[in-house]
Amino acid sequence: MVQARNMNSQKFLLFSSAVLSLLLVPLLSQGQTAAETGGNKPVVDQPEPFKRFKFLFEPDAYYTDVELIIALTQAPVPHVGEKTEAEFYQTLLSGAAVLPRFVLFEASVNPMPELGVYLKKNERDFYNNAQLAGSFNWVKALTSGFEEPYAVSMLAGNVVSFDVPGNKDIKGNGYSGYLFSAGNYHIKDNSLVHDRWEEVEWKVKGDRKSPVKKLSWSFRIGAKLHGNPDITDIFYLSFRRSRLDYLPTDSSLMNNSGFEYTVDLDRRTLHSIRHYFFVDKKWPLESQKMAYALALGFVWESKEKYSGVLATSKEDNFQFILRPNIEF
């Protein structure tokens, strides 16, 4: 049995690496325009003065987090704000798996999913009246997609800064390395289920803002183990990419758009038991440096995802996603 699980893990990692390579190739070919840096000439890395600790706060209607970054060495956070996209991927990836130079602690909450739990528990009439047709409930459509109300995490790896010395309009951070997360609750159908879960993943994540563009991305490969025996343990593969263009130079469909796709595989059989996908469109307000956004998508769950008392249906579950938001 142990040998079979190891073989499944090896197959999953090989498959994940192949897909990751295919998706990264077109991204690495993209450069950075002169307009994004205000027409300045590229400069050699100019690290910021050494800081042992750094705090970050990122508010969002669906995922809000506070981070503490601790430097493990005297090496400062390198600036890569004027590098091409290929170059800052290379900077993030180099050395992260061998010798992590930073540790990041994060506490996160998912406000909208928690609101869905609250409405179902405390405003049941309102929640039931949100059932419009068939299985479509607009409260579930607004709050689905996140499987936990909150989490605590630790990342060990590399951190880079997209800030450009002398230009306060270009900023952001990138991360790569191993992420360990944990929590004690799981969300199923807008209800909380007690579950001491643990998660380990390898990821590359970043957010870069300039006067004309905001670029965000996340690539993750990992495993999630549940303390509740009625929830299936998984391997997963996830990709997210988002662009906000205040001053687009062409009419490409990639402008002011984004997507996220996650597939969960049963840890024992490697059969897919969950697909999570959405695409979004943004309508920017350049003067306010913000944008209205609307995401449409779905969550498909196999009946094999839950067992025991949590197996409330003998059929696969399909849920639409309707997610309005505001991006800054």
In a domain, 96, yes or no: yes
Q: What is the distance between the alpha carbons of residues 147 and 116, in angstroms, rounded to a whole number?
A: 12
The pLDDT score that the predictor gives to residue 45 is 46
Q: Minimal CA–CA distance to 165: which of 88, 80, 246?
A: 80
Rounded average pLDDT over 285-295 = 88
pTM: 0.81
Determine whether 206 is exposed, middle or buried from the number of CB atoms within 10 Å of its CB (0-12, 13-18, 19+).
buried
State pLDDT tens for residues 134-158.
778 999 999 998 999 999 999 998 8
pLDDT at 13 over 50: no
> 325 in a domain, yes or no?
no
> Per the domain annotation, does 309 fall within a domain?
no
Residue 264's domain spans which residues? 2-35+51-270
In a domain, 6, yes or no: yes
Min mean pLDDT across 31-40, 122-131, 240-249 is at 31-40
- Indicate the number of domains in the chain: 1
Kindly state whether residue 201 falls inside one of the protein's structural domains. Answer: yes
Other CB atoms within 10 A of residue 5 CB: 12
Burial of 155 (0-12, 13-18, 19+ CB in 10 A): buried
Nearest one of 103, 29, 32 to 73, comparing CA atoms: 103
In a domain, 208, yes or no: yes
Question: How does pLDDT run across 78-127, given as a tens digit for each residue?
Answer: 777 666 666 766 766 665 556 788 899 999 999 999 999 999 999 999 99
Q: Kindly report the average pLDDT of the chain as a whole number.
A: 83
Q: How far is CA 85 from CA 28, 107, 132, 210, 303, in A?
A: 6, 28, 44, 14, 41
Instruction: Indicate whether 16 pLDDT > 80.
Output: no
For range 54-77, the mean pLDDT? 88
Q: Looking at the predicted structure, is the pLDDT value of residue 43 above 50?
A: no
Given a contact cutoff of 8 angstroms between Cβ atoms, the answer to whether 67 and 104 are in contact is yes
The reply to whether 275 falls in a domain is no
> Is it the case that residue 196 has pLDDT exceeding 60?
yes
In a domain, 90, yes or no: yes
Residue type, 318: F
Position of tokens 């991927």? 89
What percent of the chain stands above pLDDT 90?
A: 52
